[in-house]
Amino acid sequence: MLIRIADEFTKIPGGRHISDGPHSGEEFREKMLKPAFYDAKMRKEKLVVDLDGGFGYGTSFLDEAFGGLARVTKDPEVLNIQIISIEEPTLVERVMSFMKSGLGR
């Protein structure tokens, strides 16, 4: 299962919360990431999230989307989500650290 954020959600990610404006990390988490996570888990499939094609992923967006998923679900299987970015490989490490932090690791 693959989510391409730039193609399926937005090329220009917003802030942390829905109240901050369009395309927030909270909106992405609730509308796309969390449902896809549970769907992939139920189907025993790997969830892959592609960050390429987006412009300016802020810390607030990434933490709320991915760290927030870990905080909300409290499910260590969020660490099985494969994050990919050829354009900005350092984003992968940042996202993984947000998810680990969200789980208290």
Classify residue 65 by burial, with Cβ atoms within 10 Å: 0-12, 13-18, 19+.
Answer: buried
Q: pLDDT confidence of 1, banded at 50, 70, 90?
A: very high
Residues listed for the chain = 105
Domain of 84, in residue numbers: 2-102
Which residues face 2 on adjacent strands? 48
Mean pLDDT of 68-78: 97
Would you state the pLDDT for residue 30? Answer: 98
Domain total for the chain? 1
Q: How does pLDDT run across 24-57, given as a tens digit for each residue? A: 999 999 999 999 999 999 999 999 999 999 998 9
